[in-house]
Structure 1
């Protein structure tokens, strides 16, 4: 009841200001003020103000919001614990490699239906970063030389 009265008074005041503005021959501004002043009374007539006042003044609604917040907090806590469940990053990577090796090993050991050719093993990497830096720094500069030759330098 109080909220509806306040909204009605605000609308009446806004329409009064719009009338004074229109009297001063500022019709565009007066129309804009009138539009803004009709919003509170429109909210009252649609029932939005009553709905909001029911939400604000009922303790059961606040209890419901509290329970929703608690549910969200529990959900986020379980996700954080689940992410940390694998230990450190190194431990998670080691566990992932072990799981990958376990998955690859039975496939390689399984008998094939082909002519009995041995299963192909993955090729080792060409050079590690330390080996490339220590022994073969010429490979690194060959790319640069090719770019410089391309541009005629």
Structure 2
């Protein structure tokens, strides 16, 4: 009963503000204010306010919201760990097979472009080792020397 009275008062005040705004020849703003002010009384008349009051004051409902929040937190945590740990289980198995020298299908070994998962450490470490072993120490500094010569240093 108290919720309906408060909603009625808020709606009446909003309609009064809308009338004052319309008197100032700001009809678009007055219409928008009137629309917002009709929402509380509409909610009260449809019974949504009674439903909301029942939700707020029931401990079992709050327990349900708490369980939903815990489930959401678990989903978010597992997703963050998955992204940090090198992708999905399928991608980790493919990386392990590649590390042991087993034949891996190309689709399973290469991460998809839209997956958003970073390459695993095994996939990124292997090309770096082969690149370092094939390059001589003088070739490593040739690029730097060329840049320095270009800038006159």
Residue of structure 2 in register with 1:131 after alignment: 134
Shift of 1:82: 8.3
C-alpha distance in 2 between matches for 1:57 and 1:43? 18
Q: What aligned pairs does 1:103-122 form with structure 2 within 5 A after superposition?
A: 103-104=102-103
Question: What is the aligned partner in structure 2 of residue 34 from structure 1?
Answer: 34
Q: In 2 relative to 1, CA 39–99 (structure 1 residues): closer, same or farther, beyond 3 Å?
A: same
Q: CA RMSD in A?
A: 4.0
Distance in 2 of aligned mates of 1:32 and 1:56: 29
2:50 — aligned with what? 50
Q: 1:5 to 1:72 in 2, by over 3 A?
A: same
Task: Give the whole-Å Cα distance in 1 for the aligned partners of 2:45 and 2:96.
Answer: 62
- Matches of 1:45 and 1:31, distance apart in 2: 21
Q: Which runs of 5+ in 1 are unaligned?
A: 86-91, 105-124, 145-153
Unaligned stretches of 5+ residues in structure 2: 86-91, 104-126, 147-153
Give me the whole-angstrom Cα distance separating, in 1, the residues matched to 2:28 and 2:81. 59
- Name 2:20's counterpart in structure 1: 20
Q: Output the CA distance in 2 between the equivalents of 1:29 and 1:84.
A: 49
Alpha-carbon distance in 1 for matches of 2:17, 2:82: 60
SS in 1 for 2:25: coil
